[in-house]
Chain A
Amino acid sequence: MAHSVGNVVPQAAHFTEPLLLRCGRVLRDYELVYETYGTLNADRSNAVLVCHALNASHHVAGVYADDPDNVGWWDNMIGPGKPLDTSRYFVIGVNNLGGCHGSTGPLSVDPDTGRRWGGEFPVVTVEDWVDAQARLADQLGIAQFAAVMGGSLGAMQALAWAIRYPQRLRHSVVIACAPNLSAQNIAFNEVARQAIITDPDFNGGNYQVQGVAPKRGLRVARMVGHITYLSDDEMASKFGRQLKHGKLNYTFDTEFQIESYLRHQGNKFADYFDANTYLRITKALDYFDPAFEYDGNLTQALKSVAAGVLVISFTTDWRFSPERSREIVRALLDNRARVTYAEIDAPHGHDAFLLDDVRYHRLVAAYFERVHQEIAP
Chain B
Amino acid sequence: MTGINGEQRPDFAAIAQWIRRDAHVLDLGCGDGTLLKYLQQARGVTGYGVEIDDGNVLACVKNGVHVIQGDLERGLSEFVDNSFDYVVLSQTLQAMRNTERIMREMLRVGRAGIVTFPNFGYWKNRLQILRGHMPVSENLPFEWFNTPNIHLCTVADFERFCTERGINIVERTVLTGGKSVTSWPNLLGELAVYHFGG
- Measured as residues with beta carbon below 8 angstroms from the partner, the interface class of chain B is 20 to 34
Q: Which of B57, B64, B79 lies in contact with A342, CB distance below 8 A?
A: B57
Contact A333 B67 (CB under 8 A): no
C-alpha spacing A95/B64, complex, angstroms: 33
Q: Is the CB of A366 within 8 A of B58?
A: yes
What 1/0 mask marks residues of chain B from 30 to 69 whose CB sits below 8 Å from any chain A CB? 0000000000000000101000001001101110101111
The residues of B that contact A343 with a CB separation of less than 8 Å are 69-70
Q: Is A326 in the interface zone, CB < 8 Å from B?
A: yes
In chain A, residues 316-338, which have Cβ atoms closer than 8 Å to a Cβ of chain B? 326, 329-330, 333-334, 336, 338
Question: Does B66 contact A339, Cβ atoms closer than 8 Å?
Answer: yes
| Contacting residues of chain A (342-377) with chain B, CB-CB under 8 angstroms | 342-345, 359, 362-363, 366-367, 369-370
Evaluate whether A340 and B46 lie within 8 angstroms (CB atoms) in the complex, with A333-B78, A333-B79, A333-B83 already known: no
Contact B48 A363 (CB under 8 A): no
- A338→B24 CA distance, assembly (Å): 12
> Any chain A CB within 8 A of the CB of B80?
yes
Contact indicator B58/A363 (Cβ below 8 Å): yes
Contacts of A73 in B (CB 8 A): none
Contact of A330 with B54 in the complex, beta carbons under 8 Å? no
Given contacts A334-B83, A339-B68, contact A359 B58 (CB under 8 A): yes
Q: For residue A330, which residue of chain B has the nearest CB?
A: B78
With A334-B83, A336-B46, A340-B66 known as contacts, the answer to whether A326 contacts B78 (CB < 8 A) is yes
What chain A residues lie within 8 Å of B46 (beta carbons)?
Answer: 336
Interface of B is mostly: mixed
Residues from chain B with Cβ under 8 Å of A362 in the complex: 58
Chain B residues with Cβ below 8 Å from A333 are: 48, 68, 78-80, 83
How many Å from the CB of A312 to the closest CB on chain B? 9
Provide the bound-state CA to CA distance between A334 and B79, in Å: 7
Closest to A358 in B: B54
Candidates A330, A344, A370; contact of B61 at CB < 8 Å: A370
- Considering only residues 158-172 of chain B, those with a C-beta below 8 Å from chain A are none
Chain B residues lying within 8 Å of A334, measured Cβ to Cβ, are 80, 83
Q: Quick check: B79 and A363 within 8 Å, CB to CB?
A: no
Complex CA gap A370/B33 in Å reads: 15
A311 to B67, CA, bound (A): 10
For B62, the chain A residues whose CB sits under 8 A away are 366, 369-370
Please give me the residue from chain B that is nearest to A344 by CB atom: B54
Residues of chain A with a CB closer than 8 A to B68's CB: 329, 333, 339-341
Give the complex CA separation of A254 and B69 in angstroms.
Answer: 43
Q: A-facing mask of B175-197, CB < 8 A → 1, else 0? A: 00000000000000000000000
Given known A330-B78, A343-B70, contact A363–B24 (CB-CB < 8 A) = no
**B54, B60, B80: residue with the most chain A Cβ atoms closer than 10 Å:** B54
Question: What CA separation (Å) do A176 and B58 show in the bound complex?
Answer: 18
List A contacts of B83 (CB < 8 A).
333-334
Q: How far is the CB of A241 from chain B (nearest CB, A)?
A: 33
The answer to whether A340 and B70 touch across the interface, beta carbons within 8 angstroms, is no
Interface residue from A330, A341, A366 paired with B69 (Cβ < 8 Å): A341
Tell me, rounded to whole Å, the shortest Cβ–Cβ distance linking B75 to chain A.
Answer: 12
Q: In the complex, A339 Cα to B69 Cα: how many Å?
A: 11
Asked if B67 contacts A341 (CB within 8 A), the reply is yes
Query: Known: A363-B58, A366-B61, A367-B61. Contact between A342 and B80, CB under 8 A?
Result: no
A336 touches B24 (CB 8 A): yes
Contact of B57 among A326, A329, A339, A363 (CB under 8 A): A363
Please indicate the chain A residues that have their CB under 8 angstroms from the CB of B24 in the complex: 336
Contacts of A340 in B (CB 8 A): 60-61, 66-68
CB of A203 to closest CB in B, whole Å? 49
Is the CB–CB distance between B66 and A329 below 8 Å?
A: no
Q: State A363–B61 Cα separation when bound (angstroms).
A: 7
Q: Which residues of A contact B67 (CB under 8 A)?
A: 340-342
CB distance from A229 to the nearest CB of B (A): 23
Most buried by A among B24, B64, B68: B68
Minimum CB distance partner of B64 in chain A: A370
Contacts of B48 in A (CB 8 A): 333, 339
Inter-chain CA distance A192–B24, complex, in Å, is 47
Shortest Cβ distance from A311 into B: residue: B68
One digit per residue, 1 when the CB lies within 8 angstroms of any chain A CB and 0 when it does not, for chain B 93-118 equals: 00000000000000000000000000
The residue on A at minimum CB distance from B66 is A340
Report chain B residues within 8 Å CB of A359. Answer: 54, 58
Chain B residues lying within 8 Å of A338, measured Cβ to Cβ, are: 66
Bound-state CA distance A345–B52 (Å) is 11
In whole angstroms, what is the CA distance A362 to B68 when docked?
Answer: 16
- CB under 8 Å from chain A, chain B span 69-92: 69-70, 77-80, 83
Q: Which residues of chain B have C-beta atoms less than 8 A from A363's C-beta?
A: 57-58, 61
If A341-B68, A342-B67 are given as contacts, then 5 extra A-B residue pairs at C-beta distance below 8 Å, sorted by A number, are A333-B78, A336-B24, A342-B57, A343-B70, A363-B61
Q: What are the 4 tightest A-B residue pairs by CB atom distance, in nearest-first order?
A: A366-B61, A341-B68, A343-B69, A342-B69
Q: Which residues of A contact B (CB under 8 A)?
A: 326, 329-330, 333-334, 336, 338-345, 359, 362-363, 366-367, 369-370
Query: Can you report 16 residue pairs joining A to B where beta carbons are below 8 Å apart?
Result: A326-B78, A330-B77, A333-B83, A334-B83, A336-B46, A340-B66, A340-B67, A341-B67, A341-B69, A341-B70, A342-B69, A343-B70, A344-B54, A359-B54, A366-B61, A370-B64
